[in-house]
Amino acid sequence: MSATTAAAGGGSLRPWLLLAPLLVFLAAFFLVPLAQVAVMSVSDPEWGLEHYVAIATDGFHLRVLLDTFITALTVSLCCLVLGFPLAYAMAAAPQGLAAAMMVVVTMSFWTSFLVRTYAWMVLLGNRGPIARFVEWMGFASPELLFTRFSSTVAMTHILLPYMVLSLYGVLKRIEPALPRSAASLGATPAGVIRHVVLPLAAPGIANGLTLVFVLCLGFYVTPILIGSPREQMVAGVIGQQVEEFLAFGEASAMAMLLLASTLVILGLYHRRFGLDRLWG
């Protein structure tokens, strides 16, 4: 073997050697536990598919799955409605103002989910500022805390930056001349948004919706602390099955169904846009 061939072979192996620690870490702390959960879902306490059958035929579990998907869809749409104008304004703003707005948007990443959830507990509480303002207006204090509304608002606040960042990258790449040309040809501002901006921003919209929806499916802390006990999400029920009832098999089956749902959503996104867009 010549020196050139040996050098080429060593060069091709070098990236894999650099990736080896990461691959070992993922195998040890992700793939192996995931395989254990999958096996436990069909083997605890006995081998079989009874946990999956129970989930598919039990009204409680089906309602939990439905509530989870409804909440995730609602939060995703709320993030889109709130995030699109903000991302559009950031993309159209001068560089300095856009940078300041980006700092404000990403500032929430500096605070933990728990702290932000507790802040919403204070705001939406019976003696919080919102309830006091409603009472000051002469109306009865509304029950805002421990409802689907409270968990939806808090999760929208937490996940909004993901939507804004997904949209901003796409909107920033739109040529400014395109909206101006449409306006010069007689298009109204709403028409420019509808017929020019939205079609060009479709990949970013799909990116943001998919990312927020998938993240929302596995939310645990926020729905547990301020959500309605009558409208639980899958992650909370899994935790309850493990901590209170020690039903590891049933919890594992629900976890695998949640993972399967996530993979289906990502597969549909990949088929339409490609996962490379989702990761940036």
Give the per-residue pLDDT at 145: 86
Query: Which residue blocks in the chain are alpha helix, DSSP H?
Result: 3-26, 32-43, 50-57, 59-92, 95-106, 113-124, 129-136, 148-172, 177-184, 189-192, 198-217, 221-226, 234-243, 248-272, 275-278
| d(C-alpha 53, C-alpha 62), whole Å | 11
Give the per-residue pLDDT at 164: 95
The answer to whether residues 123 and 129 touch, using CB atoms and an 8 Å cutoff, is: yes
Interior CA angle at 138 toward 137 and 140, to 5°? 110
| d(C-alpha 224, C-alpha 98), whole Å | 35
Query: What is the Cα 157 distance to its own chain's centre?
Result: 12
Interior CA angle at 247 toward 241 and 251, to 5°? 60
Q: Which DSSP string corresponds to 123-180?
A: HHSTTSHHHHHHHHTTSPPP--TTSHHHHHHHHHHHHHHHHHHHHHHHHHTS-THHHH
| d(C-alpha 48, C-alpha 115), whole Å | 42
Joined together, the tokens standing for residue 231 give: 């409208």
Joined together, the tokens standing for residue 179 give: 């909206």
Q: At what angle do helices 248-272 and 59-92 cross, to 10 degrees?
A: 40
Which regions in the chain score pLDDT beneath 50? 3, 6-7
Give the per-residue pLDDT at 71: 94
Tens of pLDDT, residue by residue over 158-191, are 999 999 999 998 999 888 888 888 888 888 888 8
Domains (range + CATH), the chain: 1-43 (no CATH), 51-278 (1.10.3720.10)
| d(C-alpha 16, C-alpha 28), whole Å | 17
| d(C-alpha 146, C-alpha 121), whole Å | 9
The answer to whether residues 235 and 220 touch, using CB atoms and an 8 Å cutoff, is: yes
Tens of pLDDT, residue by residue over 244-271, are 888 889 999 999 999 998 888 888 887 8
